[in-house]
Structure 1
Amino acid sequence: MLQKLFATSILFTSFSYSFIHIDPPVIGEKEGLSGEVSVSGKHSSGNNDSTAMGLAGKGEYFGNDWLVYLIASYTYGESNDRKDTNDGSAHLRYVHSIGDSSYDYELFLQTEFNEFQHIKQRNLIGANIRKRLDIFFDKFYAGLGLFYSYMEPEEVTVYDPVYKRTRINSYLSFSKKVHQNFSVSYLGYYQPNVEDLSDYRISQIVQFNTSITEDLMLGFDVNHAYNATPYYAVEKNDIRTTINLRYKF
Structure 2
Amino acid sequence: MQSKVYRLLFLFIFYSSLESQVNTESMRYGSNESLFKQTFDIGFDLEQASSKISNSSFSYRLDYTGLKKLSSFFILSYSNSYLEKDNRKDIISNKGFAHGRSTYQLYDDFFFGEIFLQKEFNDFIFIKDRQLVGSVLRLKLSQSYHLYLGLGIMSEKEVYEFDPTKDLIRSTNYLSGSMNIMENIIFNNIIYFQFDLSNTNDYRVLLDSMIDFTVNENISISCVVNYRFDNDQHENLSKYYYILSNNLSVSF
TM bracket, shorter-chain basis? 0.7 to 0.9
Contact in 2 for aligned 1:224/1:237 (Cα 8 Å): yes
Q: How many residues are matched?
A: 229
31-40 or 231-240, which deviates more? 231-240
Corresponding position: 1:191 with 2:194? yes
SS of residue paired to 2:107: coil
Give the aligned CA root-mean-square deviation in angstroms: 2.5
Q: Percent identity?
A: 22
The verdict on how the C-alpha distance between 1:161 and 1:208 changes in structure 2, with shifts beyond 3 A counting, is same
Give the structure 1 partner of residue 131 of structure 2: 123
Measure how far apart 1:196 and its partner are. Answer: 1.4
Give the structure 2 partner of residue 99 of structure 1: 107
1:46-195 aligned at under 5 Å gives the runs 46=49, 49-62=52-65, 63-80=67-84, 81-100=89-108, 102-134=110-142, 137=145, 139-155=146-162, 160-195=163-198
- Relative to the length of structure 2, the TM-score reads 0.81
Measure how far apart 1:18 and its partner are. Answer: 6.6
For structure 1, the 5+ residue unaligned runs are 1-14
**Alpha-carbon displacement from aligned partner over 1:173-231 (angstroms, at most 9, x marks no partner):** 22221112222123332111111122012333221111222211111111222322232
SS of residue paired to 1:202: strand
The verdict on how the C-alpha distance between 1:35 and 1:22 changes in structure 2, with shifts beyond 3 A counting, is farther
- Relative to the length of structure 1, the TM-score reads 0.82
**Alpha-carbon displacement from aligned partner over 1:121-142 (angstroms, at most 9, x marks no partner):** 11011111001122664x2211
The verdict on how the C-alpha distance between 1:149 and 1:19 changes in structure 2, with shifts beyond 3 A counting, is closer
The verdict on how the C-alpha distance between 1:19 and 1:172 changes in structure 2, with shifts beyond 3 A counting, is closer
Measure how far apart 1:235 and its partner are. Answer: 2.5
Give the structure 2 partner of residue 12 of structure 1: none
**Alpha-carbon displacement from aligned partner over 1:72-106 (angstroms, at most 9, x marks no partner):** 21121124543223111111111101132510011
Structure 1 runs of 4+ with >4 Å offset: 15-21
SS of residue paired to 2:243: strand
The verdict on how the C-alpha distance between 1:20 and 1:54 changes in structure 2, with shifts beyond 3 A counting, is farther
